[in-house]
Amino acid sequence: MNFNQPQNPKDFPFIRNINPGEANIFVESPGRINLIGEHTDYNHGFVFPTAIDKKIHFEISKNGCKKTCRIFSETYKSWFWFNLSSISKSPESWENHILGVVHEILKIKNIDQGFDCIIKSDLPAGAGISSSAALECGLATGLNELFQLNFSKLEIVNIARAAENNFVGSNCGIMDQFASVMSKKDHFILLDCLTLEAKFIPADLKSCKILLINSMVSHNLAESEYNIRRSECEHALKIIKHKFPEVKTLRDVDMELLESCKKDLSEKEYIRVLYILQENERVLKAAEAMKNGDLKKLGELMNQSHYGLKDLYEVSCKELDFLVKFSENKDFIYGSRMMGGGFGGCTINIIEESHIADFSAEVKIAYQKEFNITPEIITVVPSKGTSIYQN
Ligand code: GLA
């Protein structure tokens, strides 16, 4: 069979066994949670994420074509194909995460023939647990193995992030891709987004579990407001730098220095930077609390983080605030806050395992009554990052 110029890529059998002797590559790529440290990654601050036990699975193989690649999503029961020499943006958002990764790889290395890829996901999309980073990191890892491209894990993180920034058009920081690739089972990563130094802190949750409550809303201002927050912080930094040229990033700014620039900044810029400085401090304290097994302290910091995100960074929404309020003052919940970029997605909660069933039932009823939406409750476990496995 000659697959080099397929008029219709539907006409040849999908993936398996068209290249006898050529082993298929199996990859699993997880979503992520972030215990604390929101919107700090692109401000060169600290974050405290890890990968979770909910994943996207990939099966990838060479398909015998020169240039044609085909991607099939078992989850969405849809597929598409593209040519390695002419990659352009698709109107379908999920396809761009795939195309973006291939596009970024081709800037650096050659992919010498076509491939097929089957994808299956148990990660809810749009829940703020980074299904897009999982998609990008999983594909990059699979192609790295299949074509022996010799990328390091950090290069894979950078390729995945570049796909998001340059191709998908989302101006995200590095947290999601880093967590998806680098995480270790039962640990959180204290990541310094300035130096990329990562400290792995054991997830000592005692008799507690991590519970995500998916608000099931995803307000469409999320993307634009995210970019506005970035530029507010960048503009604030520029003004601070003008006065204090030794300042390189917001990490060089402390409270005293911020106060001395207060009158030069707009009110919004001031409270954005104030939040970032406070949140960075909270992340470091939270990592300490986790090391000391002090869940009470950790929980307090998470709650403070939520109110910083709500009142100073202004990226929460009424649904998330409701869920956090509902978790507050329950002695079996140590901490609760919105997670991720904001304007929807999940709250993250540290809860005594023995109370999960009753609490879940209760919060479902209350949220349903308030918003007429049934929230999704997801228990997650800190897990290892993207990996190749044998089927
Ligand atoms: C999104 C982005 C991350 C990070 C968070 C907020 O998840 O992809 O880079 O900025 O929002 O902490």
Q: Is 136 in the pocket of ligand 1 (CB under 6 A)?
A: no
Higher pLDDT, 184 or 170: 184
Residue type, position 158, single letter = N
Is 14 domain-assigned? no
User: Are 119 and 257 in a shared domain?
Assistant: no
Do 188 and 232 lie in one domain? The reply is no
Question: What share of the chain in percent tops pLDDT 90?
Answer: 87
Residue 355 falls inside a structural domain: yes
Same domain for 325 and 221, yes or no, is yes
369 Cα to the center of ligand 1, angstroms: 30
Q: What number of residues does the chain have?
A: 391
Nearest atom of ligand 1 to the alpha carbon of 39: 12
172 lines ligand 1 (CB under 6 A): yes
Phi, psi of 268 (to 5 degrees): -65, -45
User: What is residue 60's predicted lDDT score, i.e. its pLDDT?
Assistant: 95
Q: Check which CATH number belongs to the domain holding 176 and give it.
A: 3.30.230.10
How remote is the CA of residue 253 from the centroid of ligand 1, in Å?
Answer: 21
Q: Do residues 119 and 190 both lie within one domain?
A: yes
Count of the separate structural domains present in the chain? 2
Which tens digit of pLDDT belongs to each residue from 69-83?
999 998 888 899 999
10, 14, 73, 84, 116 from 66: Cα distances, Å:
16, 15, 22, 9, 12
pLDDT in tens, 330-382: 999 999 999 999 999 999 999 999 999 999 999 999 999 999 999 999 999 99
Whole-number percent of the chain with pLDDT over 70: 94
Please indicate, yes or no, if residue 2 is contained in any of the structural domains: no
CATH number of the domain enclosing 331? 3.30.70.890
Ligand 1 contacts CB of residue 279 (under 6 A): no
What confidence category does residue 185 fall into, taking pLDDT thresholds of 50, 70 and 90? very high
**Residue 4 — pLDDT band, cuts 50, 70, 90?**
very low
Whether residues 197 and 218 fall in one domain: no
Contact 335, 303 (CB under 8 A): yes
| pLDDT tens string 82-124 | 999 999 999 998 999 999 999 999 999 999 999 999 999 999 8
**22-55, pLDDT tens digit by residue?**
668 999 999 999 999 999 999 999 999 999 999 9
What is the distance in A from the centroid of ligand 1 to the CA of 145? 28
Q: What does the pLDDT read at residue 12?
A: 56
Atom of ligand 1 nearest to the CA of 128: 7
Q: Residue 13 burial (CB < 10 Å; 0-12/13-18/19+)?
A: exposed
Is residue 6 situated within a structural domain?
Answer: no
User: pLDDT grade, residue 6 (50/70/90)?
Assistant: very low
63: in domain = yes
Q: Is the pLDDT of residue 3 over 60?
A: no
Q: Is the CB of 48 under 6 A from ligand 1?
A: no
CB of 341 closer than 6 A to ligand 1?
yes
Q: How confident is the model at residue 8 (pLDDT cuts 50, 70, 90)?
A: low
Please check whether residue 8 lies inside any domain of the structure. no
Any ligand 1 atom below 6 A from CB of 385: no
Q: What is the pLDDT of residue 19?
A: 55
Does residue 114 share a domain with residue 34?
yes
Residue 1 lies in a domain: no
* pLDDT at residue number 223: 85
Whether 109 and 223 map to the same domain: the answer is no
Ligand 1 geometric centre to CA of 173 (Å): 6
Whether 52 and 195 map to the same domain: the answer is yes
Q: Are residues 190 and 314 in the same domain?
A: no
Residue among 38, 123, 131, 172 whose CB has most ligand 1 atoms within 8 A, to mutate: 172
Residues 189 and 70 in one domain: yes
- 236 and 308 both lie in a single domain: yes
For ligand 1, atom 2: residue with the closest CA: 172
Q: Quote the CA–CA distance of 216 and 371 in Å, as a whole number.
A: 10
Q: Which residues are catalytic?
A: 176
Residues 196 and 251 in one domain: no
Within a domain: 7 = no
Indicate the top mutation candidate among 176, 196, 275 to test ligand 1's pocket, ranked by most ligand atoms within 8 A of CB.
176
Q: What is the pLDDT of residues 129-142, one digit of tens each?
A: 999 999 999 999 99
How confident is the model at residue 18, as a pLDDT?
52
Expressed as residue numbers, the domain containing 158 is: 25-201+384-389
Q: How far is the CA of 165 from the centre of ligand 1 (A)?
A: 12
